Amino acid sequence: MAVDLSLQWLGLSMASPLYNASGVMCRTRDELDAVAGSAAGAVMTKSCTLVAREGNPEPRYRATALGSINSMGLPNEGYQYYFDYAQAFDYRKPLFVSIAGMTLEDNLYMLAALRDLRLPCLPEVNLSCPNLPGKPQLAYDFAATAEALAAFCQVYPGPFGVKLPPYFDPVHFAQMAALLNRFDSLRFVTCINSVGNGLLIDLESETTLIKPKGGLGGLGGDYVLPTALANVREFARLMPEKHVIGCGGIKSGAEAFMHILCGATAVQLGTCLQEEGVAAFARIERELADLMAAKGYTTLADFRGRLKTFD
Ligand code: DHB
């Protein structure tokens, strides 16, 4: 049975639903080119700020058997580098540009600059960086998020998306979904960013695995899969007019399938891509296609959002 992994959304065509999570394989041109040249269905850039940043002191990323912890601190080349990349990009696959201004004004400045370039790339505004000492995540402040989204829509007329942190309470899912539903040009939400401010410890040395923030960092990988699935599922249910992009704990065709079953339009690889490199895309696509074939599905639409529950 021929399985078709392609998808069309927001006028974009993707040969595969898999691409890189922002932050992984996307800081430099060489890394972005490697994703572009791989089996990934699209390319995402590293969250950028107005001015280039070195990020937090190392070690700032570590992987374990169950996932990863990071407190990178937004190391990036500055927005102009990524906008230049977007201008030179061939658009044989979609390009998403992640924006993470240090202030609302910085985000508006970058969105206005991107608007003026009139490129076919789409912005994913990051409302959920957990790793800046002393700076809380915008997306855990609902009033500030509403104000920011209203300002984004004033400045940027085109379709855009946001990267959300995980939420952990049904009331918060409902409140955030109601808020996001007020903005028509907000067309996609990516769920989830890392589970913020976890702590992993090396037992032998009795030391934190990473240096910044006393060892606190964002968790990815197996640690976060159930939280990611719940966020994808709830936001997909509560925002039927928007696309939800799944991210969190995908390391084989099985987790990719589960995210799509929960309603994800497409899915991103974070920890797995960091650990395995771009070969992960072709491997997981093969596994997803094999799983679909075994289940008798030929397209992603055959099972997307069709999660069964007991009630
Ligand atoms: C960083 C981490 C994130 O989870 C994020 O959304 C943005 C930046 C970082 O530490 O670089």
Domain ranges of the chain: 7-55+75-197+221-302
Mean pLDDT for the stretch of residues 189-215:
98
Model confidence pLDDT, tens digit, residues 243-269: 999 999 999 999 999 999 999 999 999
Percent of the chain with pLDDT over 90: 97
Per the prediction, the chain carries an average pLDDT of 98
Extended beta strands in 15-138, E state: 18-20, 43-44, 61-64, 67-70, 95-99, 122-126
Atom 2 of ligand 1: nearest residue by CA position: 129
Residue type, 9: W
Mean pLDDT for the stretch of residues 65-81:
98
Instruction: Kindly report the number of other CB atoms within 10 A of residue 10's CB atom.
Output: 12
Which pLDDT belongs to residue 212?
98
Asked about 26 being catalytic, the answer comes back as: no
Q: Would the pLDDT of 311 be above 90?
A: no
Between the CA of 198 and the centroid of ligand 1 the distance, in Å, is 14
55 CA: nearest ligand 1 atom: 11
How far is residue 172 from each of residues 60, 165, 175, 246, measured CA to CA in Å?
30, 12, 5, 18
Exposed/middle/buried for 295, CB within 10 Å: 0-12, 13-18, 19+?
exposed
Look at the alpha carbons of 302, 97, 130, 108 in this order and tell me if their dihedral is positive or negative.
negative
128 CA: nearest ligand 1 atom: 6
Spatial separation of the C-alpha atoms in residues 34 and 32, rounded to whole Å:
5
Classified by CATH at the fold level, domain 7-55+75-197+221-302 comes out as: TIM Barrel (3.20.20)
Instruction: Name all residues whose Cβ lies below 6 A of ligand 1.
Output: 23, 47, 55, 70-75, 100, 126, 128-131, 193-194, 218
73 CA: nearest ligand 1 atom: 10
Which pLDDT belongs to residue 134?
87
How far is residue 110 from each of residues 74, 92, 104, 117, 125, measured CA to CA in Å?
16, 24, 10, 11, 10
Mean pLDDT for the stretch of residues 40-69:
98
Mean pLDDT for the stretch of residues 185-206:
98
Between the CA of 118 and the centroid of ligand 1 the distance, in Å, is 27
Asked whether the whole model's pTM tops 0.75, one would answer yes
